[in-house]
Copies of this chain bind each other. A is one copy, B any other.
Amino acid sequence: MYDGIVQDLIDEFGRLPGIGPKSAQRITFHILQTPGFDVSRLSQLLGDIRDKVRFCEVCGNVSEQERCAICRDPRRNQTLICVVEDAKDVAAIERTREFRGLYHVLGGAISPIAGIGPDDLRIAQLMQRLADGTVQEVILATNPNLEGEATATYLSRLLHTIEIHVTRLASGLPVGGDLEYADEVTLGRAFEGRRSI
């Protein structure tokens, strides 16, 4: 619809997740028409991200160095590993400020439909990290959905063969939520996991 670069940029933005053609057009015109928007900085960062950002060789989190800031931090509890599907989950857990141990990013979850099996995940690397006996507890923090549960079940069986304490994040009612609107499975889990007070 537009000439050359404008349409090309709209098309490129439209390839990003969650951006439809209308949003892509709005973003492109914002960049074109807003003098205060630093387009060269965005361009530079996009040029750098694939070159400079890698994945931590220990835990698989995003990092600009061989080992990520969390793995390098000696104040983190070295006896505790929290296993997550994705680097985005690390950021979500860090925001809670509840967890001071280390992480292990699997890079996905077991999904027969998507053709992802245990060998496609960073499970061998996890077993290697547990070999020296420093780690005492592995917290399984995969998503509470079909794939995440399957992955947690698989890992739990595997980890019990090497005698390590394995835990799973609690399922239950979300804080601030309304009991009336909770789905049956979640409400069932909340009953199952009820605690004395």
Provide the main secondary structure of the chain A interface: helix
User: Is residue A181 within 8 Å, beta carbon to beta carbon, of the partner chain?
Assistant: no
Q: Find out whether the CB atom of B27 lies under 8 angstroms from the CB atom of A62.
A: no
Which B residues are CB-close (under 8 A) to A30? 16-17
Find A17's partner among B5, B15, B16, B27 (CB 8 Å cutoff). Answer: B27
Q: Give this chain's copy count.
A: 2
Q: Find out whether the CB atom of B52 lies under 8 angstroms from the CB atom of A46.
A: no
Find A47's partner among B8, B12, B40, B49 (CB 8 Å cutoff). Answer: B40
Q: Give the docked Cα–Cα distance between A17 and B37 (Å).
A: 11
Q: Give the docked Cα–Cα distance between A5 and B38 (Å).
A: 16
Which B residues are CB-close (under 8 A) to A191? none
Find A62's partner among B2, B13, B15, B86 (CB 8 Å cutoff). Answer: B2
Which B residues are CB-close (under 8 A) to A57? none
User: Is residue A139 within 8 Å, beta carbon to beta carbon, of the partner chain?
Assistant: no
Q: Find out whether the CB atom of A45 lies under 8 angstroms from the CB atom of B5.
A: yes
Q: Give the docked Cα–Cα distance between A81 and B16 (Å).
A: 36
18 sample A-B contacts, Cβ–Cβ < 8 Å, listed by A number = A3-B63, A3-B69, A5-B45, A9-B46, A12-B45, A17-B26, A18-B26, A18-B27, A19-B19, A26-B88, A29-B86, A29-B87, A31-B49, A39-B49, A40-B46, A42-B46, A43-B44, A43-B47
Q: Which residues of A contact B (CB under 8 A)?
A: 1-6, 8-9, 12-13, 15-19, 23, 25-32, 37-50, 52-53, 62-64, 68-69, 86-88, 91, 94-95
Q: Which 8 A-B pairs have the closest CB atoms?
A: A43-B46, A43-B47, A9-B45, A1-B91, A12-B42, A16-B27, A43-B43, A17-B30
